[in-house]
Amino acid sequence: MRQYLRIVIIFISTGFISQTSQACVCSDILTIDSLAQLEEYSFIAHVKIIDDQILKEPTKDDHETIGQLSFKVLELFKGEKIDKILEYAKNSSCDIGVSKGEEWLLFGTIKNNKVSILPCDRNRRYKERDGRRDWKYGSGLQELDQLRKLYGHPIRKFVSEERKEFYKNGKIEIEESYVNGKLNGARKIWYPNGMLFCRQSYVNDTLDGKAAWFYETGQIYEDDYYERGKPLNASRIYYDSTIEKSWKKLLIEDFYKTEDSLNFVYKRVQAQYETIFDSYGRAIISREYTRLGKISREEIIDPEKKFRTVIYYHDNGVVSSIMYSLNGVEFGHYQTYEMDGSPGRGWDYDKEGKAILNK
């Protein structure tokens, strides 16, 4: 059974009133590598959620909310074909976020004599309500392919052909080409609204050339460069310049005072993260920037020596702190600085990476 921690935090606002809040921390990262890993489950299936209801409300003695999901089985891997399952930790920080109209891979176990899904398990969203899938990170896609391999279900193979798939609204979702079973040429993926989500180029199943990902508005989200699968030059992730109306009003009232000053900050296309690679495709520099383009964090990496230098900056550009690590362990001297550049606190680390604090 998977382990998850519930951290209970008690907030006391008066001498008579107290409220409890729970935070969920998953202790494992689960994979699907063998049938042996799946022995604990009585039900495994790819389903479409038809209804999502609350079966048990929290009480004074039992704070947990239990939901009941109704679904249609699209592909059954293990167990009997059912159409309902209990969902524990509903409406809590452990809630996995199942909603009506989505497609999920569900891994059910028996709890209190009923088939149930639990937090911090192998359950994965395969398709959102509007039909979009996680093409960038492969969540749900990879797990479905792996289940089909393990249980001997057919997997569609593309040989030498053009692949096109469409959303239910008729708009194209993905377009790519295969030669002898391998991706070759341009690959494009779109949002359900018709905006381009991704543009990549492949040579024999390997990324090659420029790759770009976009926000749903069409603004650039990330751009990368590859040479036969190896990261090249620089990779950048950008802030979203879109401002929702409700968020816009709050920002103006609390931070920017006028719409012009808000637009000055938000409307510019600004990199948030930047990674520089050496000729071997290894990251050697990473930086983080504010919306105004000021550097806030920088990490310099020596891949050969496994040595890292991490620098944080104040808003005025002055170094805030600098630290070092060797082989993943804190190393050397850690030093902080005030906004005027004068040194603040500092200490050394021993060979085990433990701070040597002056008494």
C-alpha 306/C-alpha 39 separation (Å) is 40
Do the domain assignments include residue 46?
yes
Q: How many helices (H) and strands (E) does the chain have?
A: 3, 26
According to the model, what pLDDT value does residue 357 have?
A: 81
Position with higher pLDDT, 307 vs 242: 307
Range in 6-10, 45-49, 188-192 with the lowest mean pLDDT: 6-10
Q: Choose among 176, 149, 187: nearest CA to 38.
A: 149
Pairwise CA distance, residues 319 & 97, whole Å: 41
Q: Residue 359: its pLDDT value, please?
A: 56
Domain membership of residue 189 as a residue range: 156-228
| Spatial CA neighbour of 87 closest among 113, 114, 62, 61 | 114
Count Cβ neighbours within 10 Å for each residue of 5-27 and write b for 16 or more, e otherwise: eeeeeeeeeeeeeeeeeeebeee
Please tell me whether residues 121 and 165 are part of one structural domain.
no
Indicate whether 238 belongs to any domain: no
If asked whether residues 106 and 174 sit together in one domain, one would say no
Give residue-wise pLDDT tens across range 222-259: 999 999 999 999 999 999 987 655 555 665 565 556 66
pLDDT at 221 over 90: yes
Rounded to whole angstroms, how far apart are CA atoms 272 and 185? 29
Of the listed ranges 56-70, 134-148, 326-340, the one predicted with least confidence: 56-70
Selected residue with higher pLDDT from 19 and 329: 329
Query: Do residue 58 and residue 98 come from a single domain?
Result: yes
Same domain assignment for residues 121 and 161: no
Same domain, 111 and 219: no
Residue 28's pLDDT is 75
Joined together, the tokens standing for residue 358 give 């002056």
Do residues 117 and 9 share a domain? yes
pLDDT at residue 11, rounded to an integer: 36
The pLDDT, as a whole number, for residue 135 is 98
Nearby residues of 235 by Cβ (< 8 Å), 6 or more positions away: 222, 223, 224, 225, 274, 275, 277
Task: Examine the domain organization and report whether 108 and 187 are in the same domain.
Answer: no
The fraction of the chain above a pLDDT of 70, given in percent, is: 86
Domain boundary among 208, 228, 248: 228
Last residue of a domain, one of 169, 198, 228: 228
Instruction: Please indicate, yes or no, whether residues 176 and 122 belong to a single structural domain of this protein.
Output: no
Q: What is the pLDDT of residues 279-291, one digit of tens each?
A: 999 999 999 999 8
Mean pLDDT of the chain: 90
Digit-coded pLDDT (tens) for 12-28: 333 333 344 456 777 67
- Does 20 reside within a domain? yes
- How remote is the C-alpha of 192 from its chain's centroid? 20
**Low-confidence winner among 60-64, 82-86, 154-158, 310-314 (lowest mean pLDDT):** 60-64
- Residue indicated by tokens 């891997």: 77
Look at residue 265 and tell me if it is in a domain: no
**What digits encode the pLDDT tens for the residues 67-81?**
999 999 999 999 999
248 or 300, higher pLDDT = 300
- Prediction pTM value: 0.83
* pLDDT above 90 as % of the chain: 77
Domain termination residue (choose one: 204, 228, 252):
228
Q: Are residues 101 and 207 in the same domain?
A: no
Q: Is residue 254 part of a domain?
A: no
Task: Over range 327-354, report the average pLDDT.
Answer: 95
CATH number at residue 20: 2.40.50.120
Residue with the larger pLDDT of the pair 265 and 140: 140
Within a domain: 160: yes
Angstrom distance (rounded) from CA 175 to CA 337: 52
Kindly state whether residue 48 falls inside one of the protein's structural domains.
yes
Q: What is the CATH number for 216? A: 2.20.110.10
pLDDT at 250: 63
**Segment 74-128, tens digit of pLDDT:** 999 999 999 999 999 999 888 999 999 999 999 999 999 999 999 999 999 999 9
pLDDT class for 2, splitting at 50, 70, 90? low
- Whether residues 189 and 122 share a domain: the answer is no
**In a domain? residue 169:** yes
Number of domains in the chain: 2
**44 & 114 share domain:** yes
CB 103 within 8 A of CB 133: no
62/170 same-domain check: no
